[in-house]
């Protein structure tokens, strides 16, 4: 089965009215239990029987509403979708040439479609999460080392205060 190519330029930027509506819906729905299926009825639609959403899907709907309610532009993409090298580089915040080097070193996988490289969204996100975690751990180690060396004090260094 082939994977879906995805266009990151297909997104929805919420209007102020949509932001307010999403914020209110998220506020009301976020208190619902995410441990049992949620039944939702759509006013004015036939059949009038409510539809049932599994807990995981209901949580994703609430998460989407929270993002929209915060005024964020959102896009929905399947994790099996494929991105171009430019889209992948944008997603992880690196240049396209650097992304190509990551692919050539085997740090990111891709498949060739003719001469074009395609990367799976879930692989790109996993790489981004891995590097974000490594960066956070490195910063924590640096902060610990600063503390051990007494460099975390906010006093001027090399200035004689008593003079």
Task: Give the span between the Cα atoms of 38 and 25, in whole angstroms.
Answer: 14
Q: What is the pLDDT of residue 1?
A: 39
90-118 confidence digits (pLDDT tens): 989 999 999 999 999 999 999 999 999 99
- The pTM score is 0.59
Contact in structure between 75 and 65 (CB atoms under 8 Å): no
34 falls in which pLDDT band (50, 70, 90)? low
Task: Give the span between the Cα atoms of 23 and 28, in whole angstroms.
Answer: 9
19 falls in which pLDDT band (50, 70, 90)? very high
User: 């998220």: which residue's tokens?
Assistant: 26
Task: Give the span between the Cα atoms of 124 and 129, in whole angstroms.
Answer: 9
Q: Coil, strand or helix: which one is 35? A: coil
């Amino acid at each position: 089965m082939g994977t879906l190519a995805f266009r990151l330029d297909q997104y929805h930027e919420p209007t102020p009215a949509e932001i307010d509506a999403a914020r209110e819906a998220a506020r009301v729905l976020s208190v619902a239990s995410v441990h049992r299926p949620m039944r939702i009825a759509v006013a004015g639609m036939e059949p009038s029987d409510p539809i049932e959403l599994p807990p995981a899907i209901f949580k994703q709907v609430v998460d989407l509403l929270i993002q929209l309610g915060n005024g964020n532009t959102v896009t929905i993409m399947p994790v099996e979708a494929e991105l171009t090298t430019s889209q992948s580089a944008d997603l992880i915040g690196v240049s396209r040439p650097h992304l190509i080097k990551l692919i050539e070193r085997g740090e990111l996988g891709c498949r060739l479609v003719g001469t074009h490289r395609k990367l799976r969204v879930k692989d790109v996100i996993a790489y981004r999460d891995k590097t974000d975690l490594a960066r956070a751990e490195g910063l924590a180690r640096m902060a610990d080392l600063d503390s051990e060396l007494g460099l975390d004090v906010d006093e001027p260094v090399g200035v004689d205060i008593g003079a």
